[in-house]
Structures are given as structure tokens and as C-alpha cells.
Amino acid sequence: MAKTAQDVMQLIREQGIKMVDFKMVDINGQYRHVTIPAQNFTEATMTDGIGFDASNYGYAVVEKSDMVFIPDPATAQIDPFCEVSTLSMTGNAMIIDYPHNRPLDQYPRNIVLAAEQYMCDTGIADTMLILPEFEFYLFDDVAWKVAPNEIGMSLDAEQAHWNGDINGRGVIVPRQGHYHIAKPLDRTYECRSEMCLRMEEAGIPIKYHHPEVGGAGQFEIEPKLGEMSKMADATMLIKYIIHNTALKYGKSATFMPKPVYGEAGSGMHVHMLLLKDGEPVFSDDNGYSHLSREAHWFMGGLLKHIHSLCAITNPSTNSFKRLVPGFEAPVTVGYATSNRSAVIRIPAYAKTPNMRRFELRNPDATCNPYFCYAALLMAGLDGIENKIDPHENGWGPYDVNLYTLSDEEKAKLQGLPTSLDAALDALEADHDYLTKGGVFPEALLRSFIAAKRRECAAMAAIPHPAEFERYYNL
């Protein structure tokens, strides 16, 4: 791992690097990049940075948009998807100032670092470990069009149930019957294995990969637990690897939460735990599900703020098409052990003290991972600081199948927001826990909410093909 500009230049010489690529992250959590010839990389690159227009990334008004990107040498690695030998790096954005530049507090990577610093300052913990589960679909074909005279989409996966009459080889997966299916029905094993090998080469340890429930080509790759800031970087890289490897195999990958009507949606469940001086904060042999009071308070903070968190963890209109009953998606504000219908699930298999944890099941991978992970930490810390007990607040534990309750019992439960607009309303009303210690700047939240409001309005104005089926002949 490179630590200095000299290390990077040595790597460039040893590997015959021709280009150095700088990957930056916009407000939506998407990579942008700029590339320089390798011979132009010097020690000054690490101090003076690379200039860019932050207004096009969603962070600043145009009049104050000139920023510089400072690469982090520890992130340097060869990009396997570039035919020209390319060294890739990410880093942090800085505001141009005198005599020294200062961090752009709205930049996602800086948000995560600020959240980690706030955690240390509270004395509650010094490390947050997280494990995001990456669910996604792989399609053989996908197309869409939004025009005044034509609105629609089409997609295809060779093994999908709708191809039973044309496949010709009988290699068809039933609807919702894809979970852990083996060859020959598992058609993308080699593709996913290469994805995992690429991730391992990039320094991201992988736990496993497998087919998920959705019969039209849904899969999951799960890394091992990692420190929050490093896992935020890894999340961007994992998505980059999945997209690019899929294209190599003639497939298209999507992290859309609900790309296929009638099939399981794709989430990004986030497991989390805290450490202090290397010791687990969340473990207690005598607590419910062997979790400490701090763990319960952390869950209480997540559940108290879950409606506003949804604007950050589920920031697409499509996100809320996934959060519906019947597809193993969470719909109830509550916690339980081994229960996938509650928004917080405590995995029973995490038995050892240093692995005891819980997962938040509502997030999906359309989120900006830096914002998502930092917001989860800030909500949990707020729960610990204010001793928010989830049981006393009526959020569980729900050790029953919440999908099968009577309508009378279901009416007593608190549900997640049903739309992005509703989640944004909640974020406007409840975000003080995010701005503690200056972690999330008010200006960033205002920009984020305004951008998402415009997105909601634009999507709501487009006629939907299903509306023609329902209303055309009335």
C-alpha cells in the first residue's frame, strides 16, 4: 500500500503505468473521474491537487465552485478494466484557500471521516465495523425510452420464467425460486467469481457470493466486516467492479431496488457493531439476543430516526417499490432476532462476543454510501447518548412473522415511509442528530433535499405505462 507521493511514483515506474486516474464521488454517490498522463504525477499533485467544478457534482453554488481534489496514496491500485495501463486513486475534495486549502465539508469522504471523529470524541467507541450486503440483478438485455410518444422499458434474463417456451434447453428458474440455485440454472457463476477475485485483488476480503431469490437473475456478494470509512471506499469499488465485470461477460448489472415487477427487490442490508480499544461495545451475555444496553440504545436511535434516515438510505423513487410486504423486504419499524420482516434483524449465527451485531435491512445501493454509513452511525450514537430504549418505545422485539399478523394487529405497528417525498418530509423535520459536531453541514442537507424534491416532481409528472392499462378506456 502506497503512503506517499514517492511510493506512487515508484509504483508507476515498476508497473509501467501510462495514466493516473482520479475517481471522485458526486452528491448522488456516483463516480466521476479525471485522468492525467503518468509522467505528470509529481509530489505537487499530492499537495496542489487536481482542480474541478464542484457545482457539477452537486456540492456548491456556481460562484464558489472551484475546488481541488487531493488524492489519497493509500487508495492507489491498478484499474483492471482499462486497456491502457492505468493507476486509479480516490481521495478528498478541498476548498481553495490561503495560505492552505481546507476540506470541503460537504464532500462524502470528508463526511465519513467527520462522523468517525465525532464517535471518538464522544468516548463511546473508536471504531465502527460494517458489512453491507450487495444484492443486484444481471440482465442479458435492457432498454428504456421516455419520450412524448413512447414510454416504456424492457429487460430480459435468459433463465427467467417468461422464457420457458423459447429457451430450448429447459434451463429456466421459477419466479422467486432462484435462492442458492446451482448449475446449470446458475448461469453467471464464472462472472460473479471473477467479480469476487477482482475485489480480493483490490484489497476487499469477500465472504461469499450466491444466487438470490429473484428468478430473473438476482444475486448477492457479501464482503467481510470492515472499518466504516474504508468500507465506504470499498462500496464504491465493489459497485464499479460489478458493473464493469458484468459488461465483460455481455451482461448488464443493476442495483435498482425494484427492477422486475413481481420479483424480489435488491437491498443493501448493513450489519454494524462498535469497538472501543479493540473490545466489543455491543456484546452482553445477559442481554436480549446477547446484546448490550449500548447496542439496544444504538438500535433505538436508528428506529427513532428511521423515517428521516430513509431519505439518505433509500434515496430513489424506485426504493419504495421494494419496501412492500411479501418479498422479504422490511416494512415494520422494529427489531427482532432472525426476523426479516422487521427493519432491524439480529442474526442468531453471530454468537461470539466480537461478532455480535445487528443489521439494518431497509437501505439499498442507490444511496451515497458515505452519507448512508455516516448517517447510520450518527443516528445510533444519538440513541446511545440519549439512552433510547427500543423496547420501552414499543419497537419490539418482534419475534413473530409480521407479514402474517391480523389486520388489527398490523394496524398497531409503525411502518416505514411509503414514498421518497414522505422520507424527505421526515428529513426536513428531523436532522439535528446529523448536524451534531458539524458532521452533516446544513447546506449539504438543503442541497440534497432540494435535488431530491426536483427528482420526485419530475418522476411524478411522467405518465406510467400501467396507467394506460388501468385508465385509458374510462
What is the side-by-side order of every strand in the sheet holding 66-71?
50-53, 66-71, 91-95, 102-103
Across the chain, which distance is largest between two alpha carbons, in Å? 71
Q: Any catalytic annotation for residue 13? A: no
Q: Which of 192, 209, 269, 305 is catalytic?
A: 269
* 247 close to 230: Cβ distance less than 8 angstroms: no
Q: Compute the radius of gyration of the chain from its Cα atoms.
A: 23
Q: Which of 13, 32, 43, 53 is catalytic?
A: 53
Which of 30, 26, 23, 128 lies closest to 82 in space, CA to CA?
23
Q: Which of 135, 158, 186, 233 is catalytic?
A: 135
Q: Which of 140, 233, 359, 382 is catalytic?
A: 359
* 102 close to 50: Cβ distance less than 8 angstroms: no
DSSP 283: B
Q: Any catalytic annotation for residue 53? A: yes
Q: Compute the half-sphere exposure of residue 471: CA atoms within 13 Å on the CB side of its CA.
A: 6
Q: Which of 21, 133, 140, 186 is catalytic?
A: 133
Q: Any catalytic annotation for residue 220? A: yes
Which of 221, 240, 252, 243 lies closest to 156 in space, CA to CA?
252
Q: Residue 183 and residue 11: Cα distance in Å, rounded?
A: 41
Q: Which of 21, 140, 158, 220 is catalytic?
A: 220
Q: Any catalytic annotation for residue 43? A: no
Q: Compute the half-sphere exposure of residue 199: CA atoms within 13 Å on the CB side of its CA.
A: 30
Q: Any catalytic annotation for residue 442? A: no
Q: Where are the alpha helices (DSSP H) in 174-265?
A: 189-201, 228-248
Q: Any catalytic annotation for residue 133? A: yes
Q: Any catalytic annotation for residue 169? A: no
Q: Any catalytic annotation for residue 359? A: yes
Q: Which of 361, 364, 382, 431 is catalytic?
A: 361
User: Cell numbers 418505545 correspond to what residue?
Assistant: 393
Length, in residues, of the chain: 474
Q: Any catalytic annotation for residue 201? A: no
Q: Which residues contact 100 (CB under 8 A, 6 or more apart)?
A: none
Task: State which H helix or E strand residue 301 sits in.
Answer: helix 293-304
Q: Which of 340, 391, 425, 453 is catalytic?
A: 340
Q: Residue 462 and residue 458: Cα distance in Å, rounded?
A: 7
> Catalytic residues, which ones?
53, 133, 135, 212, 220, 269, 340, 359, 361
